[in-house]
Each structure stands twice: as C-alpha cells, then as structure tokens.
Amino acid sequence: MLIAYRARDIAEAHIVSGMLQAQGIESHVGGHYLQGAMGEIGAAGFTNVHVEDEDYPKARDLVAEYEANQPDLAPQKSVGDRVDRYAIGFLLVMAILVAIFLGAL
C-alpha cells in the first residue's frame, strides 16, 4: 500500500478516505493510535490515507482535486515541517531525560 494523502488530523483523513471510496478506490486510514503520542504537542501529520499500489495514480488525481478546492489549508510541506520540528524537539527532550536518568544511576 502507498500513502495517497498525509492528513492534518484523523477527521480529514476519514473525509479523504470516504471520497476515495465513493470513487471505487479502497483506502485505509492509518495513524489512529499515534494522535496522542506527542503529549501536549498538537498532533498533526500522523494520519495517512493508504491505497493499493494500482489505485495510487487515480487516488493522487482525486486528492489533487480535493486539495485544489481547499484554499484555506496550508500547503502540505508546511505541515510536514511543523511535524519535523515537533519530532526533533520531542527526541531532544527524550535524549536529555535519558542523559539525566543515566547520570543519576
């Protein structure tokens, strides 16, 4: 399966998945359990809409049409950049906590 769309949140992923299924493309929404993994940081970019390899080109055409009709949404790249910053910050905090914990032993 390939990722046809990287959604901002779980609701948007299900909207896109439903749109694809209405056009006869089987899709799967992944990332349900990752939504709360970042704690207080706003969960974004963890939900993806997956489609079968052979359906990918048609799904991407439909997703492009969906995105074109969403002028108020930021481009996907900015969502990914924000997620990358959150992930880097999260990993940095975890590394510091591990260093403190190991130093206390």
SS (H, E, C) the chain: CEEEEEECCHHHHHHHHHHHHHCCCCEEEECHHHCCCCCCCCCCCCEEEEECHHHHHHHHHHHHHHHHCCCCCCCHHHHHHHHHHHHHHHHHHHHHHHHHHHHHC
Q: How confident is the model at residue 39 (pLDDT cuts 50, 70, 90)?
A: low
pLDDT (tens digit per residue) in 66-97: 988 876 655 555 455 566 777 888 889 999 99
Better-predicted residue by pLDDT, 39 or 63: 63
pTM reported for the whole predicted model: 0.58
List the domain range (segments joined by +) for residue 43: 2-104
pLDDT at 46 over 90: no
Mean pLDDT of 12-38: 84
Q: How confident is the model at residue 40 (pLDDT cuts 50, 70, 90)?
A: very low
Count of domains for the chain:
1
